[in-house]
Structure 1
Amino acid sequence: MTTDLTALRQRVHAFGARAGLSGQRLHDLVIAAHEAATNVLRHGGGRGTLIAWLDADGVSLDVVDTADTLTESHLHTQPDLDRGGGAGLLLVRTLCDEVRLEHEAGRAHLHLRMHTRPWQAA
C-alpha cells in the first residue's frame, strides 16, 4: 500500500468505477478506503496492503495491517470529539455495506464491502 493517499484514492476510484459503482456509492468506497488506509498507516506500524476484488454482487477491499494492531474494539470505539480524530473507523462502518475484521498469520485484515446492486430482503 502506498503512503501516497492521493494515489490510493485515485486507484480505488478507478477500480470502483470499472466495477460499476458510480455517484455517491463510488465516493463512499473511496472515502472508506482512505480512512482505513490512514488508520493502518498511522496506527499499524506505517505499512500495509490494500487488496481489491470484484464478484457478482459487489466490490471488496481488504486493508491489511501488517503490524496486527487493529482490534475489534477499535471498530466500535466512539470518537473523542474533544480531542479530535478517531472517527475514521466509525465512518468506514457507516459508509460500507459490510465491515469485518479477521486476524491471520500476524496480520489484521479489515474487510470492506460495497454491493453493486441494491440489497434486497429474502
Structure 2
Amino acid sequence: MPTNDAMYHTYRSDLSEVRALVLERAREAGLAEGRASDLVLAVSEVAANTLRHTKSSGTLAIWHNEREIVCEIRDEGTITDPLAGQVRPAPDATGGHGLWLVYQVCDFVELNSDSSGTTIRMHMALPSPNGGH
C-alpha cells in the first residue's frame, strides 16, 4: 500500500514529467542509475498504454521504503488477458511488447484489471545499506 509520503501525479498527454518524476524519486530512493533508467522505461511504457488505449487520464503514484521502490499506474482501461506481459509476444505481434518489457526489468509486477479500470504496480528492490542486494 502507498506510504504517507507517496507522490501522486495525474497525466493525460505529456509523459516527460512522468519520466522525470520517476527518475528523481528512484535516485532519491537509492537505485543505481541503470536500474533507475529501467524503472523509468517500465513506467513510461505503462503510462503510454493509458494514452494509447483509454480516453481517461492516468495517475502515477510513487513510494518507497528501505527495501523497495514502487511505481503504480492507475487508469480506466481494461486488460482482458490475465497473462498480459507474462508471455513473450511473437516477433510479428503488433502489441504486447511494452508490458513484456515491464515484466523483464522490474523485480515484481502486480496487474489488477476489472470493469472499474486497471492498476499496475512495478516494484524494484533497493540496494541494502550494507552493500548486499
TM-score by length of 1: 0.83
Decide which of 94, 108, 120 is 2:104's aligned counterpart: 94
**Higher helix fraction (1 or 2):** 1
Distance 2:71 2:108 in 1: 11
Of stretches 50-59 and 70-79 in structure 1, the one that deviates more from structure 2 is 70-79
Deviations 1:44-99 (A, max 9, x none): 334211111011211001111223x1242323353343254431000000000000
Distance 1:111 1:64 in 2: 9
Contact 2:79 2:114 in 1 (8 A): no
Q: Does 1:81 align with 2:91?
A: yes
Gapped regions of structure 1 (runs ≥ 5): none
Contact 1:97 1:115 in 2 (8 A): yes
Contact 1:80 1:86 in 2 (8 A): no
Is the partner of 2:37 in helix, strand or coil?
helix
Q: Percent identity?
A: 32
- Following superposition of structure 1 onto structure 2, how do residues 38-117 of structure 1 map, counting pairs within 5 Å? 38-67=48-77, 69-71=78-80, 72-82=82-92, 84-103=94-113, 106-117=116-127
Name the counterpart of 2:24. Answer: 14
Measured after TM superposition, the shift of residue 108 of structure 1 is 1.4
Name the counterpart of 2:47. Answer: 37
Is the partner of 2:83 in helix, strand or coil?
helix
Measured after TM superposition, the shift of residue 8 of structure 1 is 1.1
Distance 1:73 1:46 in 2: 24
The alignment covers a number of residue pairs equal to 119
**Code of the aligned partner of 1:25:** R
Pairwise CA RMSD of aligned residues?
Answer: 2.2
Distance 1:80 1:65 in 2: 26
